[in-house]
Chains A and B, each alone.
Chain A
Amino acid sequence: MAGKNKLRILEFIYLDDQKVDMTLSVLEGSLPTQSKSLKKRGSSKRGGGSVGFQGLLGAGGGFEYSSGEELEESKKQNEFSRFSRLYKLLQENNGINSIETMDASSHKRLQRDK
């Protein structure tokens, strides 16, 4: 219920990544493309079977050499990019109703739209 403004995120306080992925799947009609390609990559032998790398890689790969901090940073960037994609898709589908204030009429509107 954010607006049609440009998305600006300083930091996530709370993020339900499963809901992000599920909603992306519904809107895109499939599993998120990026996650799919990363999954495939992660299953290759070159990956060395590292734990927790799925969906964490940026361009260039090489996760076997990544430090914990780098992985964390990649994970954050991945969260931001997936959420940004979702936000953009929701905006394109008029799926975001920005609520800055509530009164009787907006309450009724929410009830009607629910």
Chain B
Amino acid sequence: MTGSVALSLFDRLAMIMDAVAPLLTEKDISEDAKAFFSLLSKFKAKTIKVFVVPRQQQQVSEQHKEYRFYTILLAEKLKASIHELASSLTVLGRVTKVLNKSESINLISEYLGGAHLPDNVMQELVDELASNPDAAEFLGGTPSLDDILVKYPSVAITPIAIYR
């Protein structure tokens, strides 16, 4: 499949934090935020969660854009910089799960080792991020619940290779 690859919300956040963390002073960031980003940093070092939207999907109706693929990459298998992922690439992988209407994958749980966060807490987290005027610019779009919840009709794949 050839399509556009996008990092998940938290991987984008973690990448931004990597870039800006050295520039922050103690006053710029709260202890809670530091702990949260430190946790993100720990997990993102091992895996990178990405969405892939097939190339021609981007030309069809808005309704069809929800048909996207979700995959977890092992950081050690990356052959290029993580920045290279955010572009149009070809993915060869195996379909591992086609989500039913009642199923969803919570990306925060993936980060937190399976811990479950209630939907309203996740929504609050997203709202908090979305209320920051700089967030959309930094993240390449206004964050939404779809950024952290993989749901029907998404398809999970195990990647073998991503190339251009």
Give the B-binding residues of A (Cβ under 8 A): 1-2, 9-17, 19-20, 23, 83, 86-87, 96, 98-104, 106-107, 110-111, 113-114
The number of inter-chain residue pairs (CB within 8 angstroms) is: 103
Answer whether A110 and B162 are a contact pair too, CB < 8 Å, given A14-B73, A16-B74, A100-B54: no
Closest to B73 in A: A14
Determine whether the beta carbon of A13 is less than 8 Å from that of B79: yes
Determine whether the beta carbon of A100 is less than 8 Å from that of B74: no
Across-interface contacts of B157 in A (CB, < 8 A): 1
Across-interface contacts of B115 in A (CB, < 8 A): none
How many Å from the CB of B117 to the closest CB on chain A?
Answer: 27
Closest to A79 in B: B79
Which secondary structure characterizes the binding site on chain B? Answer: strand
Tell me the complex Cα distance, A23–B158, Å. 13
Tell me the complex Cα distance, A8–B77, Å. 20
Fill in one digit per residue for B24-63: 1 if any A CB lies within 8 Å of its CB, else 0. 0000000000000000000000000000001111001000
Tell me the complex Cα distance, A96–B1, Å. 10
Closest to B164 in A: A10
How many Å from the CB of A68 to the closest CB on chain B?
Answer: 17
Check: B64 CB closer than 8 A to any chain A CB: yes
Check: B155 CB closer than 8 A to any chain A CB: yes
Q: What are 15 pairs between A and B in contact, CB < 8 Å?
A: A1-B93, A1-B95, A2-B91, A12-B162, A12-B163, A13-B79, A13-B85, A14-B79, A14-B163, A19-B160, A96-B92, A100-B55, A101-B56, A102-B57, A102-B68
